[in-house]
Amino acid sequence: MQDAYWYPIKVQGGQEEKASKQVRDVFEKKGKESALLDIFVPFHRFFTIKNGKKIIKKRFFAYIVVKLSGEMGQDLRNIFHYVPLFRGFISSMGWGPTHDPTHLEQDELDKMLGDGENVDVFEDDLKKNFQEGERVEIVEGVLKGKIAIVVRVDPHRKKIETTIPIFGKETKTELSFSQVKKI
């Protein structure tokens, strides 16, 4: 049995779904549909609050991932150049139409696929950039309205550690990005 490989392909931003359809169509027209096993369009889910309601949105990354039967030879590389929204192959050296495509390792693919259910990022969190020593206002919870000083920022967990003066004593508190705002 021949191995199958996943390749990231750079496409026109905002057109990922359309590009994946174009890839399928071009492979079919060129008689190579058996070489194209699957297409995955990576995205990140996040939420925003509008009129007091949580609205889930998607953010795309201007690339798709295609699963091909075997290594991508020159014949398959040439097919992608017939896809109107194709912008280039992603490789360890960057991306471009002439770059040698690099297939993804299983751990890279697993990170990309994730569990698909996590919707834990608030839209405004993506725009926040807290600094140590910065003053923030707590906007939710029992400490709402209190001013805190940022002691440590954990961007991966989207949390900050702060100190808040309570009864004349500095108290450390961990808060999520969505619980505070810059002042």
Buried b vs exposed e over 77-92: b needs ≥16 C-beta within 10 Å?
A: bebbeebebbbbbbbe
Query: In the predicted model, is pLDDT for residue 97 greater than 70?
Result: yes
> What's the rounded Cα separation, in Å, for the pair 102 and 178?
37
Give the number of residues written for the chain.
183
**Who wins on pLDDT, 2 or 25?**
25
* φ, ψ dihedrals at 146, nearest 5°: -75, 150
Could you report the per-residue pLDDT of 100-154, keeping only the tens digit for each? 888 888 777 777 665 444 444 554 554 467 888 999 998 887 788 899 999 988 8
pTM value is 0.59
pLDDT the model gives residue 148: 93
Helix (H) or strand (E) holding 147: strand 147-154
**Who wins on pLDDT, 180 or 93?**
180
pLDDT the model gives residue 121: 52
> What's the rounded Cα separation, in Å, for the pair 42 and 56?
16
Q: Which residues contact 91 (CB under 8 A, 6 or more apart)?
A: 99, 100, 101, 102
Identify the structural domains of the chain with CATH numbers, from first to last: 4-113 (3.30.70.940), 128-182 (2.30.30.30)
**Who wins on pLDDT, 90 or 120?**
90
Helix (H) or strand (E) holding 57: strand 53-60
Could you report the per-residue pLDDT of 63-84, keeping only the tens digit for each? 899 999 988 888 999 999 999 9
> What is the DSSP annotation of 74-101?
HHHHHHHTT-TTEEEEEETTEEETTSPP
- Amino acid at residue number 8: P
Q: What is the mean pLDDT of residues 35-57?
A: 79
Q: Which residues contact 105 (CB under 8 A, 6 or more apart)?
A: none
Q: What is the mean pLDDT of residues 21-46?
A: 90
Could you report the per-residue pLDDT of 5-31, keeping only the tens digit for each? 999 999 998 899 999 999 999 999 999
> What's the rounded Cα separation, in Å, for the pair 177 and 153?
9
**pLDDT band at 167, cuts 50/70/90?**
confident
